[in-house]
Structure 1
Amino acid sequence: MPGRQNAIHQQDKPYVILISADGFRSDFAKKYQAKNLIALGEQGVVADYMQPSFPSLTFPNHYTIVTGLYPAHHGLVDNSFYDRKRQQTYGMQDKKMVADPYWYGGTPLWVLAEQQQMIAASFYWVASEAPIQQLPPTYHYFYNEKISIDQRIETVKEWLALPRDKRPHFISFYFPEVDHAAHSFGPDSKETAEAVQFVDESIGKLQKVAAASGLPVNFVFVADHGMAKVDQQNTIPYPTIDTALFTINSGSAVLQLYAKDKNSILPFYENLKKNAVDYDVYLKSTMPASLHYSTDDDRYNRIGDIILLARLPKVFNRGGRPTGPGKHGFDPHYPDMRASFQAWGPAFKKGLQIQGFENIHVYPLIAEILGLQYDATKIDGKLETLKKIINTK
């Protein structure tokens, strides 16, 4: 984005590199001996786990991490969902739709930074390709898994070497590999172990780049969700649903039904509830409060009228097709859904282990470190949850 630069008062601020490793469950660093992450964790802060928001899927949770809002409050309620206002289905595979700011509520961290004349950069993050509030990150890349990791790390090195007025202070960075491996081969597979090693080596390289820059760079390492080994043999067949009455949003862990006629909701709900085996059936209005996913939460009117939740280790499976061994999307209170969190760098205390917390709290933490102003009443996250991990200035 030409013409943007850091304001003078932003140029001495610290730096934050927010890294997400998709599907990096809370126990994966220890389980697969991720030596860089373990060593860096000892130099900083490690949480027992970070609890994802419901549903424990990639798009809703990546966007929660950078907005401090539950999915029903920011609008990305699923990886794909039906929007009643536009009468359109959002799908994460649709490049044009993904880049349309209509879908994204809240104020992502890069927008917050750019609003306050602090340059931001993103090497892949959900929504970073969309000009939200007309402010995409100054430097950003369209998602492309063909760009090698060494090229991506070299780009971060170049960003940190830019002149003070052009250098990004907030960088977001994403790794898809662990999620891919764990879906295809399961969370206990050698392929998942190798993917964890790949991420760990890459983080070691990023840390070296940051150290060589001589700048006060802080790292926040997170995952969007965990991963569970599921029952591949005995899956839950899709209930018979009249598509003249309902639009279906399908998934392995969560099915959402959008009624074309409101009068069909209750009779069909009662019928489903009576016959449900291995899954729970809710009306949007009766969703458990702990999931922040009921009628009162649904600010963008994008949650289904009827929601079906599979019970681990069972998954929904349409037409008896083979299903992969690793899945997520379930109620985030299942331990297998837990994500990783650790942070290191000059802003963080050293050698601190903390209890698990919800992922809505990462946003105020990063805003505080970067000295960015935000309206605390407009987010779900609370600074006091993680303030104890920051070194007092």
Structure 2
Amino acid sequence: MEAITLQTLPPKAVLVGVHLPHHADFAYSMQELRNLAEANDLEVVDTLSQKAARVSPSHYLGTGKIEELRTLVLGHEATLVIFNDELSPSQLRNLEASLEVTVIDRTLLILDIFAQRAQSREAQLQVEVARLQYMLPRLVGLRASLGRQGGGAGLKNRGSGETQLELDRRRIEERISTLQTELEKLVARRQVQRKQRHKNEMPVVCLVGYTNTGKSSLMNALMEACQADSAKHVFVKNMLFATLETSVRQLELPDRKTFLLTDTVGFVSQLPHHLVKAFRSTLEEVAEADLLVHVVDASNPQGALQIEVTKATLKELGAAEIPTIYAYNKCDQTDEAYPRVEEDRIYMSVKERSGLTELLEQVRRHIFQDYVQCEILIPFDQGRLVAYFNEHANVQATSYEPEGTRLTLECRAADFERYKDAFVVL
């Protein structure tokens, strides 16, 4: 076995948070910060918190706590300090000067995780835009060289030269503009695909929820239940933000009803505004869904908080009014009885493949309300309609009569209206 060297050890980090009077979930927020740090392959060596009425506008922490933090950093030989809230440019600059180590905040930590996880070109572009927008106001004072004149000495060069800061800012603005142009092309392509799906009148069901609640695992399990192509399974791993790409799969129920199932990026408390903005085009899939399946980790003690965070994010995306059913996953790790259905809630275990039938039944009930049960007679010269209904409807009985083919079926109301002049209703 290879010996561990100093170079292979993860960076040591100290976590810092200010407990404000209105922040009832502070302990959970700090635990989540630890989870985020560990998801970024960092070793958390200590945590420091301070109760205060407000954060210090200059240093985030009070003077005494800054000294305490310096001692902790030196004692642990930490190379990184992570703050639980987004730091202003001046707080970032002052803290780095006081602590003499790298300082980042929760926002940059999440952005780093997203940067590592992004696989598709679109996700990579979205993350880079978010990172650059975050960096832009924080350039001042990040390094001494930012204040240098572009060239020459004295006054003769003042008109032509630019400070390094101005050059960096201009480069970043140009880079953001270039990335956004490329992103717009990808977004336009996806909008064409979405319009095509709407044209096909296929309902869209979207999986939403907190990160790591099991949305991608549920998607794969539903694909198995509907006997969809296993080669189209989505990536699953027990880690925060395993899914950054929006995946869309077509599922067919046993009665030939088809719908599109969409998997989306998971949410998290204090999800950076830059990220929501950058991923807005991806998350438009959510706002245009016919039904949301809100996946909840039933085994998480903070499940109720995670539901509220998800609801708040959905509201920001303009998706708060879309009909929603709640899939309480991981019930195998709780005392909950499952599978069972209570109004708009399904208690289930994706791991044990328990509750999938109940969930699919709830999905069917919500999105296939515009179906009609009928008995029709199709003349022989309209044989193409027999083939159409066999492919697109749930044909329960077929018989042949002198005047044509008799079908007992359940079909979309839109199909019934479209073709009703070509058959006889019995």
TM-score bin (small chain) = under 0.3
> Which structure is higher in helix share?
2
TM-score by length of 1: 0.24
Q: Under a length normalisation based on structure 2, what TM-score does the superposition of the two structures give?
A: 0.23
Compare relative contact order (CA 8 Å, sep 6+) and give the higher one, 1 or 2: 1
